[in-house]
Amino acid sequence: MEAYLLDFGNLLIRWLHVIAAIAWLGESIYFVMLDNGLKPPKGEGCKKKGVFGEMWAVHGGGFYHNQKYASSPEDLPEDLHWSFWKAYTTWLSGFGLFTLLYLTKPSFYLVNRNSPWEWAANMTGTQANIAALAFLLLGWVIYNELCKRISPNMTRDGILSVAVAVMMVVVAYLSTHIFSGRAAFLLTGAVMATAMSANVFFWIIPGQRRMVNAMKAGEKPNPIDGLRGKQRSVHNTYFTLPVVLLMLSNHYAFTFTHSLSWVIMVLFIFAGALIRQYFVLMHGGKIRPGYPIAGVALILVAVWIGAPSAKKAVQAPAQTQSSAVATDSTDGTAVEAAGTVEAAEPAASGEVTLAQVETIMNSRCVECHAQAPTSEMFAAAPLGIVLDSQQEILLQADHIKQVVASKYMPLGNMTQMTDEERDMIAAWNGQ
């Protein structure tokens, strides 16, 4: 029941997170389009009122006339539309999901046992949680300091953009070396998402409030507030596509299980920013196809780097022996138990048989991937993948070979699948 309630809570928070993110990013993209698509007003009356730019649009059977004021309008209404709760809700629900899925089981989901850095590979669950939270906090602090120190008056934003790009390369490298693959991609996206939400909370909304208060008091707003808000909003729009992709990546093991996963991540980040740049310019009437072409080229490089290399088939051993593993009912961690696992007899030709693969699945995978999982971590089979029959194993053959070869599964290798068993699955022809 506990696993079921956790899964249901996961569903509800994820639903809220997706809805809030759609609302926030949609509104953000709309206002970037609106701001870049404004044209000088044609009417003298509008110019006299201080209208800086305007846009006419048609949607849903109606016509809209958007205007942007360079200074305070004559009558500033009390019921101004403010855009911030969508941003806060997106971050809070995302952090709630991260807490529910990762911080509650850090030994499985955060710790990178294959890290080349011994201290990272040997972190305890508590240490991994602290490291993850510190990673998010430091990501925001460093990004914010770059903005304040490099372009405090918004006059060196080009140099700042290069500095932020370098920062993201470093973040990608560190995350994949400190944390497990899936968590690394998620945390890198979370660093950007945290910066986006913090930009709204610490800079954009406070600056807008100061401007509004000044206008209501009949004073001239400080132009630096508007410039800084624009700077941070522009950063947010370039973070958008990379963040969405990194949040989706946890469903695709080929992205985060590769030895050069940080390079793949960086290529995706830059590709997303380049593609977004095309649309930003397009809203201003500038068509620059070189940006999406460059973005697609980077994605193709990522495809080339991540492509699985052909492996030489191996002969199936007559049997493999390893320690069987049980799950400690108190904290869900894997513990060694007495006993051995024997694989089915190989075929006369030496080829790996379906029966042998089924034996491995029953020993290492069915604890979670079954119609009725015995693992206390899951109320239902993860991703709906069931492996407790030969028919189901055949349906998932390609997926099994991929995630086992990359060592993404079993998760954290909590059931202690051996290298010999992985070799057998790699040599299996999927029939």
SS3 51: strand
- The whole-number pLDDT of residue 346 equals 52
Task: Report which secondary-structure segment, H or E, holds 52.
Answer: strand 51-59
Query: For residues 269 and 169, what is the distance between their CA atoms, to the nearest angstrom?
Result: 9
Query: For residues 338 and 332, what is the distance between their CA atoms, to the nearest angstrom?
Result: 18
Poorest-confidence range of 194-198, 266-270, 284-288? 284-288
Highest mean pLDDT among 47-61, 190-204, 310-324, 400-414: 190-204
Contact at 8 Å (CB) between 239 and 195? yes
Output the DSSP codes for 94-144. Answer: HHHHHIIIIITSHHHHTB-TT-SSHHHHT--HHHHHHHHHHHHHHHHHHHH
Residues recorded for the chain: 431
SS3 179: strand
Task: Tell me: pLDDT of 338 over 60.
Answer: no
- The whole-number pLDDT of residue 310 equals 52
pTM for the predicted model, two decimal places: 0.78
**Is the model more confident about 412 or about 245?**
245
The DSSP secondary-structure symbol of 363 reads H
What are the residues whose beta carbons fall under 8 Å from the beta carbon of 83, sequence distance 6 or more?
24, 27, 28, 31, 200
What is the band of 273 on the pLDDT scale with cuts at 50, 70, 90?
very high
For tokens 């939400």, the residue is 197
Print the SS3 string covering 346-383.
CCCCCCCCHHHHHHHHHHHCCCCCCCCCCCCCCCCCHH
Cis peptide, bond prior to residue 152, ω within 30 of zero = no
Contact at 8 Å (CB) between 138 and 171? no
- Structure tokens belonging to residue 425: 């699955």
- pLDDT, one tens digit per residue, over 136-157 is 999 999 999 999 999 999 999 9
- The whole-number pLDDT of residue 345 equals 54
Task: Tell me: pLDDT of 63 over 80.
Answer: yes
Poorest-confidence range of 30-39, 51-60, 304-313, 325-334? 325-334
Task: Tell me: pLDDT of 399 over 70.
Answer: yes
pLDDT (average), residues 23-35:
90
What are the residues whose beta carbons fall under 8 Å from the beta carbon of 159, sequence distance 6 or more?
150, 151
- Amino acid identity of residue 207, one-letter, is G
Q: Mean pLDDT across the chain, nearest whole number?
A: 85
- The whole-number pLDDT of residue 75 equals 75
pLDDT (average), residues 153-166:
96
Task: Tell me: pLDDT of 343 over 60.
Answer: no
